[in-house]
């Protein structure tokens, strides 16, 4: 929206935004090019117009000298909503929750010690601390692109080594029994993870065309050369679930309860609210633990979960090779049935 010269402007930005109306004023000129400072982003035209009117009645300091960490985060977030996927944005939003001690500080006055203090005070896993550092880096990049600061202090932030690395935490027998006896869609996903050793993303990306029910196996996997396109035998404990999910007219094997794509972000959010003391990857550790306890041939175990075996023919799946893996799964089923009595 064009205003009188020198009074600033407001306009609606493109895309589907929560606050699409941007208000800005001129801070000066460089080489004949007008330079702006944003006053903020607003949900409606009326709000934007009111802010601009108020600013022109009583101008306030919008220079970098008054820009707080919180305000810069808001500006960065609004900008990134245009290009960054929602999952990453949520990750950064979670990291931002740990910055309360520096939110009201003037951004240009923040030093390395302030940022390091945030990291040191975080009572979280190392991955969460790394995400916070990434947020700092993103914000400094945005600030430097807009001539708000000259030095990036996020480069000097270090992640303290955890005194104890995250341990692998397989589900206990009692937990597996409880999960197995819970007839609910998201728990069915956990069952399949436990009885295949698949990663959660591998399962969510499993295509129906790669599920061979009559032959008793699936083809899938990701991440590494050994992990891609591997044979994953179907345990008798999850065969009814796979049969229930199977739909030849659908691209993906796993969908949500409404038949739409089940995303990692959606499932992980449910997991954190309902499963305590474990991550989805612990299901994979549980499968490997059962396999080891059952004394299954280690080469077969590695092939099923997608670990390197050192065998140059490991990706050549002959009928015999597939039968060997299915036999390993039968031995796995026998062991599980003996120690858990699930059926």
Comparing 150 with 213, which gets the higher pLDDT? Answer: 213
pLDDT tens-digit readout, 243-272: 999 999 999 999 988 889 898 778 888 988
Our measurement of the distance from residue 248's CA atom to the centroid of its chain's CA atoms, rounded to an integer in Å, reads 29
pLDDT tens-digit readout, 161-195: 654 444 578 999 999 999 999 999 999 999 999 99
Classify residue 183 as exposed, middle or buried by CB count within 10 Å of its CB (0-12, 13-18, 19+): exposed
pLDDT of residue 163: 44
> What pTM, to 2 d.p., does this model score?
0.54
Q: At residue 1, does pLDDT exceed 50?
A: no
What are the CA-CA distances from residue 180 to residues 41, 168, 189, 240 (Å)? 49, 21, 10, 12
Our measurement of the distance from residue 205's CA atom to the centroid of its chain's CA atoms, rounded to an integer in Å, reads 15
pLDDT of residue 264: 79
Is residue 61 very low, low, confident or very high in pLDDT (cuts 50, 70, 90)? Answer: low
Comparing 280 with 30, which gets the higher pLDDT? Answer: 280
Average pLDDT over residues 135-164: 84
Helix (H, G, I), strand (E, B) or coil at 142: helix
Mean pLDDT score of the chain: 85
pLDDT tens-digit readout, 63-93: 666 789 998 999 899 889 888 888 889 999 9
Rounded to 5 degrees, φ, ψ at 289 are -65, -45
pLDDT of residue 165: 45
Q: How far apart are CA 122 and CA 95, in angstroms?
A: 10
DSSP class per residue in 292-315: HHTT--HHHHHHHHT---S-TTTT
């Amino acid at each position: 929206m064009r205003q009188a010269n020198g009074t600033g402007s407001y306009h609606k930005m493109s895309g589907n935004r929560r606050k699409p109306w941007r208000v800005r004023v001129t801070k000066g000129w460089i080489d004949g090019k007008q330079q702006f400072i944003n006053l903020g982003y607003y949900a409606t035209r009326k709000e934007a117009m009111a802010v601009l009117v108020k600013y022109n009645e009583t101008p306030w300091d919008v220079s970098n000298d008054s820009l707080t960490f919180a305000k810069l985060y808001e500006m960065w977030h609004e900008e990134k909503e245009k290009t960054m996927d929602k999952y990453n944005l949520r990750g950064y939003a979670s990291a931002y929750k740990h910055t309360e001690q520096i939110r009201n500080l003037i951004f240009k006055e923040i030093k390395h010690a302030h940022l390091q203090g945030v990291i040191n005070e975080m009572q979280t896993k190392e991955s969460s601390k790394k995400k916070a550092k990434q947020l700092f880096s993103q914000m400094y990049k945005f600030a430097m692109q807009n001539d708000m600061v000259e030095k990036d202090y996020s480069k000097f932030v270090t992640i303290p080594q955890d005194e104890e690395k995250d341990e692998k935490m397989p589900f206990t027998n009692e937990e597996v029994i409880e999960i197995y006896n819970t007839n609910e869609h998201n728990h069915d996903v956990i069952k399949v993870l436990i009885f295949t050793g698949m990663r959660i993303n591998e399962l969510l990306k499993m295509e129906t065309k790669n599920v061979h029910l009559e032959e008793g196996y699936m083809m899938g996997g990701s991440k590494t050369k050994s992990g891609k396109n591997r044979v994953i035998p179907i345990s008798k404990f999850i065969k009814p679930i796979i049969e229930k999910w199977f739909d030849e007219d659908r691209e993906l094997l796993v969908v949500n309860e409404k038949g739409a794509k089940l995303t990692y972000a959606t499932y992980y959010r449910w997991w954190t609210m309902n499963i305590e003391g474990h991550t989805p990857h612990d299901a994979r550790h549980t499968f490997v633990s059962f396999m080891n306890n059952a004394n299954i041939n280690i080469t077969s175990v590695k092939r099923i979960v997608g670990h390197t075996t050192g065998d140059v023919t490991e990706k050549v799946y002959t009928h015999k090779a597939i039968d060997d893996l299915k036999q390993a799964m039968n031995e796995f089923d026998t062991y599980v049935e003996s120690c858990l009595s699930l059926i």
